[in-house]
Amino acid sequence: MTTVNPGPYRKVTGLWFALFCLLFLAVGVSGIYVGESTNGFWEGHKGAQTFIENLGGFIVAAVVLGIVWELVGKRAFLQEILATTGLANDVERTGLLGAGVDFTNSPNWGELFRHAQRLDLFFIYGRTWRNTNRDRLAALASKRNAHIRVFLPNPDRVDLLRAMAERMDMDATELGNRIREARADFEQIGRTRRGSVEVRYYDGDIFYSFYKFDRIALLVMTKHRRERTQSIPYFLCREGGTLFDFIKEELEMISRHAIQPP
């Protein structure tokens, strides 16, 4: 089953926690060792030796409790909060794995592509995402029996282009050119590779985007304000949840109505 690794912040935090645990554990064990020492130096400093031994035992106990909290307690506390607020059932029912507003960088695209055999894409032209993940797209297309399907708005539908261009504060002709550029780019990626890349046009407006891997999918929102922004909300979900089912059914409908480019 496809998995999504924790983000880099969580990995770094976990590494620092482990390092501090090892450091304080070493200090605590050293304190206990000093308390058990028969070195003549401590004959005249029994009070200090006892204090160091007790401090070492306290530090070791604190480290053990910290590890238990990190591995068990924190997760149980989070589950309790989710259950109390009713979010636990919602997360389980929808199959939600994550959400954010940094769509370009936050999802672990490398991990998603690494395990993928099939990819369905539905967006207007996706230039930034396409360029960022070009090598990953090529690697996926090179896998035997891999299949990439790309659904783009029909650039020959002038009425659609005008509506989308108005919403995006863009010239309709320029928008049509970017869609055709995306088609040519994907066809180039799929040329002479063992997998297949299929590009089709959808005769309808696009209000959000889909990125569906084998068992993991992303629903990406579309902004309505005209100024440019890097904050694009997304929702990451797994197979078996209602959100994944929604994306799957939408793509089935889009596939039925999509046409081959002329």
Q: What is the per-residue pLDDT for 4? A: 44
**Domain segments of the chain as ranges:** 8-85, 96-257
| Stretch 45-70: mean pLDDT | 77
Rg (CA), the chain: 27
The SS3 of residue 123 is coil
Q: What is the per-residue pLDDT for 2? A: 39
| Stretch 181-207: mean pLDDT | 91
| Stretch 227-238: mean pLDDT | 82
What's 96-257's CATH class?
Answer: alpha beta
Confidence of residue 166 (pLDDT cuts 50, 70, 90): confident
- Claim: this prediction has a pTM higher than 0.85: no
Check: CB of residue 129 under 8 Å from CB of residue 182.
Answer: no
Enumerate helices (H) and strands (E) in the chain, giving the number of each.
10, 7
Q: What is the per-residue pLDDT for 68? A: 73
Residues of the chain with pLDDT > 70, as a percent, come to 81
